Amino acid sequence: MDSRTITREQLAGMFDHTNLKAYATDEDFVKLCAEAKANGYAMVAINPSPVKLCRQLLEGTPVHVGAAISFPLGQTTVEEKVQETCQAIEDGAQEIDYVINVGWAKMGRYDLLRDEMIRITEACHSRNVLCKVIFEICYLTDEEIRKIAEIAKEVRPDFIKTSTGFGTSGATVEAVRLMKETVGDAVKVKAAGGIRDWATCAAMIDAGAERIGTSSSAVILEGFDRQRAQKE
């Protein structure tokens, strides 16, 4: 996708419209889902607790419900991550974004990361649910990012994702480009964390991102509209 030629509809369809705040209420989720329906976003990105509510609110629409698993630290066991994944799917989640165990990457335990990815991807794909793997790039070196992406190229989750948005920093153009160059067309890339305006979003798209995780979807679309209006 090229940010210079993308249409408004295509852009909106890339957004995982996000509310992962600890203090989010049912009223917030009603608003989140209404915005997603009105604008044609890809998904609402939420914690597992409100999955049933959001699935009911979005019933009959093309907007997916996505659950964040082992969020935001990734420090639960693989067994717990699989169980949480399966429960979220049972509750109505159509996409899963799980956080890797970053500590394993820092220790070079890529065998454990591969096993974790295989088990969670299988739990998703056997239930016809999309699987996204959150790297949390702010804690990783380029070489660690590359090695985890190589595992993903082998295991084939649907997406690899930069960040939770709760780390020390979020997505970077350099990391998105590195992830995309490593996986090629085998796996898609989702950029998330700190994407709050059209210029930043456009840079992520041009680097290879095919999904954008953001709580600033409306602001980004407004910026897109302003830029296109100036060009006309």
Percent of the chain surpassing pLDDT 90: 97
3-state DSSP call for residue 166?
coil
Catalytically annotated residue among 132, 180, 188, 190:
190
Task: From the candidates 16, 132, 158, 161, give the one annotated as an active-site residue.
Answer: 161
153 classed as catalytic: no
Residue 161 is among the residues annotated as catalytic for this protein: yes
Cα–Cα distance measured from residue 173 to residue 79, given in angstroms and rounded to the nearest whole number? 33
Chain CA centroid to CA 231, Å: 31
- Of these residues, 16, 81, 97, 158, which one is catalytic? 97
The chain-wide mean pLDDT, for the chain, equals 97
Answer yes or no: is pLDDT of 232 > 90: no
Whether the predicted pLDDT of 90 surpasses 90:
yes
Residue 124 and residue 213: Cα distance in Å, rounded?
Answer: 20
185 is catalytic: no
The set of residues, in sequence order, having a beta carbon less than 8 Å from that of 38 and lying 6+ positions away, is none
pTM recorded for the entire structure: 0.97
Is residue 231 predicted with pLDDT exceeding 80?
A: no
**What's the confidence (pLDDT) of residue 190?**
98
Domains of the chain, CATH where assigned: 8-231 (3.20.20.70)
pLDDT of 178? 98
